[in-house]
Amino acid sequence: MKVKKYVAHTMPEAMKMIRAELGDNAVILNSKAIQTGGFLGLFTKKKIEVIAAIDVVEKPKPKKQKIKIEEPIVEGEKSGVRHEELDKQIKELKALVTDLTSTELRSVEHYPQEVKSVLAQLTRQEVDNGLLEELTPELLKYYYTKEHESDFALKAWVKQWLVRKLEDYQAEGIIFEKKYINVVGPTGVGKTTTLAKLAAKCVIEHKKSVAFITTDTYRIAAIDQLKTYANILNAPIEVCYNSEDVQRAMQSFASYDTVFIDTAGRNFRERKYVKDLQEMISFDDQIQTFLVLAMTAKLTDMQAIYKQFSMIPIDSFIFTKVDETETYGNAINMMLACQKGVSYITYGQNVPDDLAKADINKITNDVIGEN
């Protein structure tokens, strides 16, 4: 392995020197700011010291005629032992280099300003640190490969990188092959209003006949609210107190295209609440279930909520209160962590207007910012 130290005014200048001498496969082992020149500590200049390395395959030298001296064979030494030891040392050295490189990537002090700007935007959007650590080396490689791309170009590249990460989690909206639409989630996220928006979309845009079942018997206001929406849509509603009530309601609504089930919002830390849901509703293949989360919630709370509700089959997310925040990174964080897509987002109280089908390009664009 060839290791060499470079001193330059800037990191990009150092990268050019390294690429010119060691090639594109060189690895940066360490970098730091140093002071050079001056007199008695005065008039010094700040520079960057970079240590880089590359594996070197030595070319075989021409053979010379010489007297061959036989070396004694040590007992137990077999052919290839020395090579195995050498391979082991090389692997250990590569692991050390990788660790040093990873440590260096976590310090953005010497990053180009354009790269720092993009990473700062993602940090403000509360994108998970693990995802940023995965992105950063690829972003730096792209930046130097493309000869110092602009902030605009870097944002466009990061957006496409995120889209590729998320494309497997593009969720569908309502699947009309499934008769029952169920929304679950903690208290205060807007489940009942969201349910009404979905039902209104079905009636207005898809010309479906709809009915409502509510198991939210803990809040009188929630029942009255849903009854109001049902009257507007000219849809029947059944209030259910147990699993027998739910089964009777399902049977009575057999002739309707889509039946919407509203559940009670309870403290998500109470595991008993989710167990009550399991006992009341039969989560079979005829039910499509959305987990409703508020975009204003903390990531740790969102993850705890998902963990509790994962006891039941969750098809995808609905994010509410998008209009009440300026950070959207948690949508990406939850999709990747839970391997679930987002079907809808809501951004206001108006029924049915303030609801939109979720789109990965729109989500990533909101996180990256205007290009």
Handedness of CA 350, 353, 357, 361 (dihedral sign): negative
- % pLDDT > 70, the chain: 78
Position 360 scores a pLDDT of: 92
Peptide bond connecting 62 to the previous residue in cis, omega within 30 degrees of 0: no
Position 69 scores a pLDDT of: 44
Task: List all residues 6 or more positions away from 339 whose beta carbon is below 8 Å from its beta carbon.
Answer: 168, 169
What single DSSP character describes residue 346?
E
Q: Are 142 and 114 in contact (CB under 8 A)?
A: no
Position 94 scores a pLDDT of: 53
Domain extents for the chain? Answer: 1-57, 172-359
Residue matched to tokens 């002071």: 35
For residue 96, count other CB atoms closer than 10 A to its CB: 11
Position 319 scores a pLDDT of: 96
Q: For the chain, which residues score pLDDT lower than 70?
A: 1, 36-44, 55-83, 85-109, 147-149, 218-220, 265-272, 370-371
Position 105 scores a pLDDT of: 46
Q: Helix, strand or coil for residue 114?
A: helix
Q: Identify the CATH class of 172-359.
A: alpha beta
Q: Are 261 and 213 in contact (CB under 8 A)?
A: yes
